[in-house]
Amino acid sequence: MNLLPRPRPAGRAAALQRRAFLRGSGLGLLGAAGLGTLAACGGDEAESSTGSAAAGSEGFGELTVQLSWIKNIEFAGEYFADSRGYYGEAGFSTVNLLAGGSAGTAAEAMVLSRKAHVGLSAPTLTAPAIVNEQAPLKIIGATFQKNPFCLVSMEQGRPVRTVADLAGKRIGVQTGGNETIFDGFCEANGVDKDSFEIVPVQYDPSVVVSREVDAFMAYLTNEPILLAAREVDGQPIVPVTLGFADNGLPVVAETFTVLQSTVDDQRDLLKAFLVAEIRGWNDAVADPRGAAELAVTTYGKDQNLDLEEQTKEAEAQNELIVSEDTRANGLFTMTDDLIGENIEALAQMGTTIAADDLFDLSLLAEVYEENPDLITG
């Protein structure tokens, strides 16, 4: 996508469309995903990762992880876990990091079809699959502790700093799953949707620059950073964000979705995966620049990513990954309060589900009990 007035390379443009992975309604997951034998998918997006993962003969064999989007900075922890051999040390002989995309198969479908052991997704997708299609899935951890969605506007336009500022504005919202999330945001805040105009848009925030809309539904770690690098009326854009997490919709994201049967029958495999992931993400959080370099030069080298931009996004996403609770309890953990807030938020978006039917954090609890040094504070 292009931000006015200067066109952006196609690979970086694709990253702006990543929100499309939340168009999760009506996927027909169980019908489309016969529960066959786990096998890696073919094609360029399913290539094995580049790092070493040499496991012994007593290891778990091949591990396949379905990413939620293209190979950009969003999966820095996976890159470190792979390139530094953490998956191998955990017992995996080969690791396949399967790139997703706007036209890709949903993580839930890949897991249900046994083409991936783990899928990176969100409760806004996994919960409806469980409730509406009786999909035997569980979330076993959450990378993003905070909802990454926001409304982004410009200081030079008609900024939306608070929920009250929505009145009289033109708000750009993408069709599909994003509409559901935005409706939940409005419900949580008691907002009368007749008080402003919703404008259907794609995933290109240039509509904010051109003032076709006053604010645009976006990711805190992406579009605001892209906008800040642009100009309007000869002046650098000053982005203004209104985060959903701090305004009634604290839904976690980049969650680890697995089959219930994997939890039951291959618990040690999942715990080994979590150990490697925690080590990788501990490194990624500590070294945003190094994470960006891995994304730009190795794992996402075909995406035309920009090192400085990816570094800024890595720093921004650390604010979503690390919290006071994760400092105390470890990455990916969720407190009972946070789980309850997610269940309530899902209900506001139209999906009623019990916490035990969606989340199983017992594997993480065991991992940290057995490996307390993984909690780095």
Q: pLDDT (tens digit, 9 = 90+) per residue, 247-257?
A: 989 999 999 99
Q: pLDDT (tens digit, 9 = 90+) per residue, 87-115?
A: 999 999 999 999 987 666 789 999 999 99
pLDDT computed for residue 33 by the predictor:
55
pLDDT computed for residue 29 by the predictor:
61
Work out the pLDDT band at 185, boundaries 50, 70, 90.
very high
Q: Which residues pair with 236 in a beta bridge?
A: 231
Q: What share of the chain is helix, strand, coil (3-state, %, to 5)?
A: 45, 15, 40
Q: pLDDT (tens digit, 9 = 90+) per residue, 196-248?
A: 999 999 988 999 999 999 999 999 998 999 999 999 999 999 999 999 999 98
Number of Cβ within 10 Å of residue 333's Cβ equals 21
Considering only 47-61, 106-120, 150-164, 219-233, which range has the smallest mean pLDDT? 47-61
d(CA 140, CA 142): 7
- Cα angle value 178/313/116 (rounded, 5°): 60
d(CA 86, CA 65): 15
Work out the pLDDT band at 175, boundaries 50, 70, 90.
confident
Per-residue pLDDT for 269 more than 50? yes
Q: Parallel, antiparallel, or unpaired: how do β-strands 137-144 and 149-154 relate?
A: unpaired
d(CA 138, CA 258): 6
Mean pLDDT within 111-131? 96
**Is 301 in contact with 328 (CB distance < 8 Å)?**
no
pLDDT computed for residue 265 by the predictor:
98
d(CA 142, CA 162): 27
> Comparing 33-146+251-374 with 149-243, is the CATH topology the same?
yes
Work out the pLDDT band at 377, boundaries 50, 70, 90.
confident
Copy the structure tokens of residue 260. Answer: 């219930």
Q: Taking the model in full, what pTM does it have?
A: 0.85
**Domain regions of the chain by residue span:** 33-146+251-374, 149-243
d(CA 255, CA 66): 11
Topology given in CATH for the domain delimited by 33-146+251-374: D-Maltodextrin-Binding Protein; domain 2 (3.40.190)
Name 371's Cβ contacts closer than 8 Å, sequence gap at least 6. Answer: 275
Copy the structure tokens of residue 330. Answer: 């470890």
SS3 316: helix
The CATH superfamily of 149-243 is: Periplasmic binding protein-like II (3.40.190.10)
pLDDT computed for residue 32 by the predictor:
54
